[in-house]
Copies of this chain bind each other. A is one copy, B any other.
Amino acid sequence: MSADARVLAPFARRRAAVSANVATGGYRIFSALDGSGPEPEPGQFYMLATERWGSSSGRPYLPRAFSVADAEAVEGGVRLDFLVEAVGPGTELLAALAEGEGVLLTGPLGRPFSGPAELAPGASGAVLVGGGIGIAPLALLRRRLASAGVPQRVLLGFRDREHSGAVEELVRCEEVRLATEDGHAGHRGYVTDLLAVLLAGDDAQTAAVYACGPPAMLEAVRALCAQREVAAELAMEAPMACGFGSCFGCAIPLASGGYMRLCVDGPVVRADEISTALVEGSGHR
């Protein structure tokens, strides 16, 4: 495990008060005021549950993992934003959280994105590639890079208008290039098409690529960057029970053989650590 800039979490699950919950094309963004936690690094995640977790079917029982979409030190603590897609019992309860209700959280957890210099020594800038719900961690990354004065390009891909959510909310940014499968906005096709064009440019070798999104997109980015020998980090997903390295459930195959625990060795992984981003049971369908 390489040393990284991960921020440590308080050693306990704590309660944060929900301060907002707004709809954004296809998803919800809710904010919680974390009174006792530190400011997370881009790419880190939290394990979340509501105070009335569970149902007569007995699920959800375990907490659920969520990338921190944005975070800001505010009066009384740190405001944490989460982008949620309701795909099952846990995300449905989280997406339905009302202002004032409590959310139970553990975090920040996991390995964050590295700085461009670290990722690609002498990198001229950063390329952020996001797809669907996967754009979540990019907002915080973008703000941090911007304040560090790192030039960046943002490429975002969406299925259709229904799932084009959160762009405005999350990526307030001059230069965003869009790709949509239904062509309702920007390039008709995949965001990786845009990346391919961009990496064809001469400054490609010195670019540092940061990607998050569905497994298929991450795999396309991984393959492309491997081929063009561009340094890239991917924010991945895997089923997680604990989020702090104790259940060994979040196994992702390593290129070198064996598995890593994505919750402590990831969720941000160097593209060259893995031989594929397609892992059974991992990521959004």
Contacts and interface: CB of A to CB of B under 8 A. Distances in A.
Given A54-B54, A54-B56, 14 more contacts: A49-B56, A52-B52, A52-B55, A52-B56, A53-B55, A53-B56, A54-B55, A54-B57, A54-B58, A55-B55, A56-B60, A56-B61, A58-B58, A58-B61
Contacts of A55: 52-55
4 smallest beta-carbon distances between A and B, as pairs: A54-B56, A53-B56, A54-B55, A58-B58
Interface string A28-56: 00000000000000000000010011111
16 contacts: A49-B56, A52-B52, A52-B55, A52-B56, A53-B55, A53-B56, A54-B54, A54-B55, A54-B56, A54-B57, A54-B58, A55-B55, A56-B60, A56-B61, A58-B58, A58-B61
Interface of A: 49, 52-58, 60-61
Contacts of A60: 56
Number of copies: 2
Contacts of A52: 52, 55-56
Most B Cβ at <10 Å: residue of A55, A56, A61: A56
A276 to B, nearest CB: 35
A265 to B, nearest CB: 28
A158 to B, nearest CB: 33
Nearest to A49: B56
Contacts of A53: 55-56
A241 to B, nearest CB: 14
A202 to B, nearest CB: 55
A160 to B, nearest CB: 32
Contacts of A54: 54-58
Contacts of A57: 54
A49 B49 CA distance: 23
A93 B55 CA distance: 12
A91 to B, nearest CB: 15
Contacts of A49: 56
A57 B58 CA distance: 8
A55 B49 CA distance: 12
Contacts of A56: 49, 52-54, 60-61
A75 B56 CA distance: 32
Nearest to A93: B52
A130 B46 CA distance: 53
